[in-house]
């Protein structure tokens, strides 16, 4: 099983997706520090939102096989620069979260992740489980 580091703004669903991927009950939990499990490295949103803390994401990404750029389908803008994935030395996937929200704009979020350089994009609702299995199966694939 490949390990994924989840990166994204506060409230985009990183911890909820971590719970779903680990088969745990979904409960609200504000991530205050880097959390490791067998499959996921869950990061605080502030690390992606604050330039000085962002360096820690680069360091922890070395411990992962895959970088997951999360973008909520209800975001008013993208946190990610165009072609940001070119800086990674491992697979980078886009993950659109909160796709079941009444104001979700999944296509816009996918477009922003494609602009960031993500070639593989998953759409998930960690609450309902929609799309989580596809991401889990992707992580379960052997190295190619």
Mean pLDDT of successive 10-residue stretches along the chain, which has 144 residues? 95 92 83 83 90 84 94 95 90 97 97 97 94 96 65
Under 8 Å between Cβ of 39 and 68: no
pLDDT at 142: 64
Three-point CA angle 29, 33, 37, nearest 5°: 75
CA distance 125 to 16: 9
Three-state secondary structure along 90-104? CEEEEEEECCCCCCC
Q: Tell me the residue ranges of DSSP E strands in 44-90.
A: 66-72
Tokens of 128: 């309902």
pLDDT at 64: 94
Question: What is the model's pTM?
Answer: 0.93
* Domain boundaries of the chain, sorted by first residue: 4-140
Name the strands in the sheet holding 66-72, side by side, starting at the edge strand that comes first in the sequence.
Answer: 35-36, 40-42, 4-7, 66-72, 91-97, 120-123
Q: For residue 121, give the H/E element and its range.
A: strand 120-123
CA distance 72 to 52: 23
The CATH architecture that domain 4-140 belongs to is 3-Layer(aba) Sandwich (3.40)
Under 8 Å between Cβ of 94 and 122: yes
> How far is C-alpha 132 from the geometric centre of its chain's CA atoms?
12
């Amino acid at each position: 099983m490949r390990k994924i580091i989840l990166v994204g703004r506060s409230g985009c669903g990183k911890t909820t997706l971590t719970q779903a991927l680990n088969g745990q009950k979904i409960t609200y939990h504000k991530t205050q520090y880097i959390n490791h499990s067998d499959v996921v490295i869950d990061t605080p949103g502030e690390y992606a939102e604050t330039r000085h803390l962002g360096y820690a994401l680069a360091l922890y990404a070395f411990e992962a096989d895959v970088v997951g750029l999360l973008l909520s389908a209800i975001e008013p803008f993208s946190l990610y620069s165009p072609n940001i994935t070119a800086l990674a030395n491992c697979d980078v996937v886009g993950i659109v979260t909160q796709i079941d929200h009444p104001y979700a704009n999944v296509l816009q979020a996918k477009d922003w992740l494609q602009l960031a350089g993500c070639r593989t994009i998953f759409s998930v609702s960690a609450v309902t489980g929609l799309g989580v299995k596809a991401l889990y199966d992707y992580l379960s694939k052997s190295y190619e």
